[in-house]
Amino acid sequence: MNSNYYKVIMKLLKIKYGSGLHLYGCPIIFNKRGATISIGRNVTINSSFLSNLVGLYSRTILITRTSEAKIKIGDNVGISGATIYARSSIIIGENTMIGGNTKILDNDFHPIEIEDRNADIKEKIGTRPIVIGKNCFIGCNALILKGTELGDGCVVGAGAVISGKFPSNSVIVGNPGKVIKLLH
């Protein structure tokens, strides 16, 4: 699909985006009525197998699931085959690179308690905002869970599973993600 055609669709979905948006392939975008998705200037979204040779197995997916949800992507961000799924808020700072197949999820998808899950009580889904600072690098296949806060300049290793608050310039690896080094 031609990216200019897809940009028209994004406008119809009330997705705000800045100049210089590059779409390689077609992302999957769902914006719940009342929610907001905003994409900064000079953002690149890779959503096709050949757009990133790390081996993308999915198109980029941006989803807001509640009318209060917000996804804000800063200027000069690169995203490759990632899923960004918000019930509350996900903010990604400028100049951040998000590696292939990464998942950024500000919620548990389902209630934790058995009775609530079986009754499908959406209000019982655990949700906490995610903030990713400026100039971060997220390695491929990383999983960033609800409530995570990454300071500016953080590096998340490939395949890391992270949750919690991490100071600026941290190198975070493993499952669970731990800081192994501070960059200068």
Clarify whether 110 is annotated catalytic.
yes
What residues have CB less than 8 Å from 156, skipping those under 6 apart? 136, 137, 138, 139, 142, 144, 150, 162, 172, 173, 177
Number of CB atoms found within 10 A of residue 181's CB: 10
29 - beta bridge partners?
62
Residue 107 near residue 146, CB atoms below 8 Å: yes
Q: Give the containing element (helix H, strand E) for 180.
A: strand 178-182
Matching residue, tokens 């940009």? 7
Q: State how far the Cα of 104 lies from the Cα of 123, in Å rounded to an integer.
A: 20
Q: Which residue is catalytic, options 7, 32, 110, 117?
A: 110
Q: State how far the Cα of 70 lies from the Cα of 91, in Å rounded to an integer.
A: 8
Residues forming the active site: 110
